[in-house]
Amino acid sequence: MEILFKEESYKIMGACFEVYKEKGCGFLEPVYQECLSIELGLQEIPFVAQAALALTYKDRPLKQKFVPDYVCYDKVIVEIKAVSELTNAHRAQVHNYLKASGHQLGLLVNFGQSPKVEWERIVRQTRT
């Protein structure tokens, strides 16, 4: 089985590792958000930070939007955290982003762990 968006994921995670190498853990999420935006730009990884994406209910648009931390390469959602450990609520958040956006891959990245970045690939399950 081929890994979905392998090269793109590798590059995105490389940027995350670089931020962690430079900053370590212990900062709040907005610090990592700002650093990662800089690093993605330095590495020439195409991204949109905190773009509000539309939601619908029974084909009707909602006023509420959802705002993933990043959409990279116009196809990978990246959600960052700075917490002691990732929880099922964090995973559910990424699953919901994938379902609502139609994207297939999400990267859940936690900068709050020591001695290294904690991360998970989350693939949207499609019904067959």
Task: At 59, list the tokens.
Answer: 């084909």
Q: Is residue 19 part of a domain?
A: yes
Q: Is residue 18 part of a domain?
A: yes
Q: Is residue 24 part of a domain?
A: yes
The model's pTM is 0.92
Task: At 89, list the tokens.
Answer: 């609520």
Kindly compute the dihedral angle of the four CA atoms of residues 38, 43, 47, 48, in this order, to the nearest 10 degrees: 10
Closest CA to 10 of 89, 96, 113, 18: 18
Q: What range does the domain containing 25 cover?
A: 6-123
Give the CATH number for residue 28: 3.90.320.10
- Condensed to tens digits (0 to 9), the pLDDT of residues 25-65 reads 999 999 999 999 999 999 999 999 998 888 889 999 999 99
Q: Is residue 128 part of a domain?
A: no
Number of domains in the chain: 1
- Condensed to tens digits (0 to 9), the pLDDT of residues 61-87 reads 999 998 999 999 999 999 999 999 999
